[in-house]
Structures are given as C-alpha cells and as structure tokens.
C-alpha cells in the first residue's frame, strides 16, 4: 500500500479534529448507543406523549362516562351486532372504554410520579446536601452562631410554651448565639457546661417561677439541659447526625404503611397520595445526596476552592452541586418508577385517586372482583400499563446510570 501523506487527504494544519463535547453530550451519546436504554426511552416517550396528547386533545369527562348496555364487554377490534363501538381493551363494570381510561390514567400516574419525586428531591436533597456538606466542612463562626441560635430558639420554644412566655424562646436563642460567639470562653472545660447550664437554668427557672413555683422547677430543669447542650462544641457533625437520625426514623417504617398512614391522615385523593409518596421518599434522597456530597467533598478542587477562600455557599452550589447531579438524576428516574408503582398501590387499596377519576391502580382495584366472572381484560390492561410504564423508567434509569457514570454499576 502506497504511503499517504496528510496533504493528499486534505488535512493541512489541524490533526486532532475533535469537537468539544460536554459531559452531558458524551452521556447522551452513550445513552443512545445503549439498546436497552433506547427501549426505555421509547416506552417513556410513548407514555408521556399519549398522556399529554390525550389530556389536551382527547376530552374525557369521567363523571359522565357511563353506559350499562356495554357492561364488561371483552376487547374487540371490529364492531359487531352486539357492540357498536370499538373497545380494544374491552369495557369495565360501568361500560366505560378501558383503553380510553388507561390512556387518561397515564396523565395521572405521570403527574403523581413527578410531583412525588419533586417533593422527595426538594426536601431530601436539600437536607442531604447540607448534612453531607457540614459533616465534612468546618462551620464558619457566623454559621455556628446561626446554628446554635436556632437550636436555642427551637428548644426554647418548648420552655416558652410550657410557661406561656414567648420571651423565653428569644432568650434561649440569644443564649445559643452567645455560646457560639464566645466559643473560646472556658473551652474544653467542664466549667463551660456548668456556666451555660446555670445561665439556661436561670433564664427558664427565673421566668418560669413568675408563673408559679412548679413551672419554675420544670422550666428551670429544662433550661439547665438546654444551656448545657448549647455549651457543647456543636458543629456540622451534630447537625448531620440529627438530620440522618430523623431520616432513620422515617426509614424504619415500611414505605406503604407510612404512605397509607399519611393518606389516612390527609384523606384520600390523588394530590394527597402525591404528598404521602413524596414524604416517604425524602429519606432515600437525603441519604443518597449526603453520600454523594461526602465523596465529592474530598476532591482536590473543593480543597482548592476552600484554600482560595471561596464562600461556603459558592462551594456548595458551584463546586459540589453540579458534581452530584449524576446519581441524583439516575435515582430520580428510578424514583419516578417507584412513585408510579406506589401511587398505583395506593389507588388499588382505595386510598389514591377518588373514583371515577381514571387511575391505573384504582382501575385494578375496581375490577378485580369481576375476575371470577371472566372479565380478565379489566384487570390485565391497567396492570400491563403500570408494569410497562414502570419498566420504561427503570430501563431508562439503568441506561442513564451507565451513560452518566461508566464506572458505576449496580
């Protein structure tokens, strides 16, 4: 083979021609080259498109949809003398077209998924971000004053409520701020705890005894505890531990039970279901984000940012936030799948959407009693819709994980 010189190929000056590609573009290319991810994306797109198009262009009023003459008719693709209309998925106990309700149900399911994940992500993500950040960073004096002031205020509220003296909360808040401001005062010595404990006892006991002696004793004891606590060198670790303990408590309840209890409190309904599922998801995201932050914080560029004196807010939102997005995006996609599944479960138990609102889980719960009379279609199609939709998001999430972080594999 003859030698080819660069000139003959028309390459003159630049020899490494590669367009600049961002991380996201790279990830998108990897996602597209992944067959299962493409399948997931296609399924998700079909559901999203059909739900959106149906919602805006295929009017459906569940309240008036009723036709007893078509009760529990099997699927038909052609009209016949008995059934004059086409029902590809059959009809349910009220003669409603199941296909139509499945398509419209998609709108509700996607809405629930998005809102629920949004709630979990907003609260869980923020808590996890702060917990992870302050667990590994030294808090600045200003932040410490704020933290201890808030702890003092919150605990002081209890004492204030007992004695019906709002001023106590303010005073305990100030005590916290003062303890943080004079953090070198007697530091590391038992006397510090004694000093602030006594101060707290005086605030609580003194003001409380204005009401009556008994209140004085109780508030005094409480003030003693609050004061001693405020004297401790509490920092980010304390904040992180408190937040994560609270998350542990939420995680100790099986997800459905917690969601059912929340719905029982709020009352049934699609919107209430969204809130319930969102709240149940908070600890999951808090844990995920915290661990992601902990791994990013150790990177050299964060150290560099710290050493040139960037503010905590800037490090948090410019340095850390963009770098934890990958696991968050993956988890959110999978979380959407989980939220849709939970919403369907709530609907199935009769705690989600209120009939006649079309919702996949509720449709299943409505019709499964008719199985014995042979109406399999009323159960099979809504269930298939749930499974396919959830599968789509799971496939997409799986592909996103491979695309966004090739090293990660679960």
Binding positions for other proteins, rule: CB under 8 A: 36, 161-162, 164, 211-215, 217-218, 245-246, 248-257, 260-261, 264-265, 267, 337, 341, 344-345, 348-349, 361, 364, 368, 371-372, 376, 379-380, 383, 386-387, 390-391, 394-395, 398, 409-410
Measure CA 19 to chain center: 37
Least distance from other proteins to the Cβ atom of residue 258, Å: 9
Short-list 197, 195, 217, CA closest to 205: 217
Nearer to other proteins, 320 or 402 (CB): 402
Least distance from other proteins to the Cβ atom of residue 83, Å: 23
Least distance from other proteins to the Cβ atom of residue 287, Å: 12
Nearer to other proteins, 154 or 349 (CB): 349
Nearer to other proteins, 208 or 356 (CB): 208
Nearer to other proteins, 35 or 189 (CB): 35
Least distance from other proteins to the Cβ atom of residue 56, Å: 27
Nearer to other proteins, 204 or 319 (CB): 204
Nearer to other proteins, 177 or 274 (CB): 274
**Do residues 285 and 121 lie in contact, with contact meaning Cβ atoms separated by under 8 Å?**
yes
Least distance from other proteins to the Cβ atom of residue 394, Å: 5
**Do residues 40 and 396 lie in contact, with contact meaning Cβ atoms separated by under 8 Å?**
yes
Least distance from other proteins to the Cβ atom of residue 208, Å: 9
Question: 325-348 and 270-297 are packed helices; what angle lies between their axes, rounded to 10 degrees?
Answer: 160
């Amino acid at each position: 083979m003859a030698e080819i010189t660069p000139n003959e190929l028309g390459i003159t000056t630049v020899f490494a021609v590669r367009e600049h590609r961002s991380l996201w573009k790279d990830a998108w290319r990897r996602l597209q080259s992944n067959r299962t991810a493409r399948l997931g994306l296609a399924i998700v797109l079909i559901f999203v498109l059909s739900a959106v198009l149906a919602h805006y262009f295929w009017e459906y009023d569940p309240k008036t949809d009723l036709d007893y003459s078509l009760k529990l008719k099997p699927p038909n693709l052609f009209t016949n003398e008995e059934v004059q209309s086409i029902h590809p998925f059959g009809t349910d106990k009220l003669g409603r077209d199941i296909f139509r309700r499945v398509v419209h149900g998609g709108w509700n399911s996607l809405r629930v998924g998005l809102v629920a994940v949004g709630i979990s992500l907003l609260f869980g993500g923020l808590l996890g971000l702060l917990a992870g950040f302050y667990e590994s960073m030294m808090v600045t004096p200003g932040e410490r004053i704020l933290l201890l002031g808030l702890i003092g205020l919150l605990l002081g509220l209890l004492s204030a409520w007992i004695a019906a003296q709002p001023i106590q909360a303010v005073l305990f808040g100030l005590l916290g701020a003062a303890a943080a401001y004079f953090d070198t005062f007697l530091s590391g010595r038992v006397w510090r705890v004694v000093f602030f404990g006594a101060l707290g006892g005086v605030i609580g006991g003194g003001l409380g005894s204005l009401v009556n002696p008994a209140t004085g004793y109780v508030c005094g004891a409480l003030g003693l505890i609050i004061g001693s606590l405020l004297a401790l060198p509490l920092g980010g670790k304390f904040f992180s531990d408190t937040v994560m303990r609270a998350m542990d408590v939420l995680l100790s309840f099986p997800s459905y039970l917690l969601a059912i209890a929340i719905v029982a409190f709020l009352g049934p309904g699609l919107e209430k279901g969204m809130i319930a599922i969102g709240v149940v998801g908070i600890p999951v995201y808090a844990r995920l984000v915290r661990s992601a932050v902990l791994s990013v914080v150790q990177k050299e560029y964060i150290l560099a940012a710290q050493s040139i004196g960037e503010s905590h807010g800037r490090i948090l939102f410019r340095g850390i936030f963009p770098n934890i997005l990958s696991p968050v995006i993956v988890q959110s996609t999978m979380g959407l799948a989980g939220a849709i599944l939970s919403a369907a479960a709530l609907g199935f138990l009769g705690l989600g959407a209120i009939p006649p609102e079309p919702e996949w889980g509720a449709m299943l719960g409505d019709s499964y009693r008719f199985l014995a009379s042979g109406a399999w279609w009323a159960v099979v199609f809504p269930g298939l819709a749930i499974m396919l939709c959830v599968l789509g998001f799971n496939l997409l999430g799986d592909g996103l994980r491979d695309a966004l972080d090739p090293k990660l594999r679960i």
